[in-house]
Amino acid sequence: MFDLSKEELLFLVWNYSDIITVAVVSIGVTFFVSKAWNWRREKKGDDQIPGRLGLPFLGETISFLSATNSTRGCYDFVRLRRLWHGKCFKTRIFGKIHVFVPSTEGARRVFANDFVHFNKGYVKSMADAVGEKSLLCVSRDSHKRIRRLLSDPFSMNSLSKFVKEFDNMLRERLKNFEAGKSLVVLDFSMKLTFTAMCKMLLSITDESLLRDIERDCTSISNAMLSFPITIPGTRYYKGIKARKRLMKTFRDIMTRRRSGKESPQDFLQSMIQRDSYPPNEKLDDTEIMDNLLTLIVAGQTTTAAAMMWSVKFLDENKEAQDRLREEQLSIFRNKPEGALVTLEDLNNMSYGSKVVKETLRMSNVLLWFPRVALNDCTIGGFEIKKGWHVNIDATCIHYDPDLFKDPMQFNPSRFDEMQKPYSHIPFGSGPRTCLGMNMAKVTMLVFLHRLTSGYKWTVDDLDTCLEKKAHIPRLRSGCPITLQPLGGGN
For 160-188, write each residue's pLDDT tens digit. Answer: 999 999 999 999 999 887 666 789 999 99
- The predicted pLDDT at position 323 comes to 98
Q: How many domains does the chain have?
A: 1
**Pairing of the two strands 369-373 and 389-392:** antiparallel
Mean pLDDT, all residues of the chain: 88
pLDDT digits (tens, 9 = 90+) for 455-468: 999 999 999 999 99
Whether 457 maps to a domain, the answer reads yes
Confidence of residue 488 (pLDDT cuts 50, 70, 90): low
Give alpha helix (H) positions in 223-349: 235-258, 267-272, 285-316, 318-333, 343-347
Whether 349 maps to a domain, the answer reads yes
Give alpha helix (H) positions in 86-136: 104-111, 124-130
Whether 243 maps to a domain, the answer reads yes
- The predicted pLDDT at position 490 comes to 59
CA-based nearest residue to 311, from 452, 489, 413, 423: 452
CA-based nearest residue to 288, from 247, 243, 242, 260: 247
Whether 124 maps to a domain, the answer reads no
Whether 58 maps to a domain, the answer reads no
Confidence of residue 471 (pLDDT cuts 50, 70, 90): confident
- The predicted pLDDT at position 16 comes to 38
Sign of torsion over alpha carbons 400, 405, 410, 416? negative
Ranking 7-21, 247-261, 281-295 by mean pLDDT, the lowest is: 7-21
Neighbours of 179 (CB within 10 A): 9
Ranking 106-110, 157-161, 249-253 by mean pLDDT, the lowest is: 157-161
User: To the nearest whole percent, how much of the chain has pLDDT over 90?
Assistant: 71
pTM of the predicted protein model: 0.87
Give alpha helix (H) positions in 203-284: 207-222, 235-258, 267-272
Whether 251 maps to a domain, the answer reads yes
- The predicted pLDDT at position 179 comes to 62
- pLDDT above 70 (res 74): yes
* Residues in binding site: 434
Whether 273 maps to a domain, the answer reads yes
CA-based nearest residue to 26, from 69, 56, 67, 55: 55
Q: Which residues are 92's β-sheet partners?
A: 97
- The predicted pLDDT at position 307 comes to 98
- pLDDT above 60 (res 473): yes
**Domain containing residue 250:** 140-485
- The predicted pLDDT at position 13 comes to 39
Q: Which residues are 466's β-sheet partners?
A: 475
- When computed from its CA atoms, the radius of gyration of the chain, rounded to whole angstroms, is 23
Whether 144 maps to a domain, the answer reads yes
- pLDDT above 60 (res 21): no
Whether residue 153 contacts residue 200, with contact meaning beta carbons closer than 8 Å, is answered with: yes
CA-based nearest residue to 249, from 289, 196, 288, 286: 289
| Euclidean distance between CA atoms 110 and 102, whole angstroms | 12
* Residues in binding site for heme: 434
User: Where residue 325 sits, what CATH number does that domain have?
Assistant: 1.10.630.10
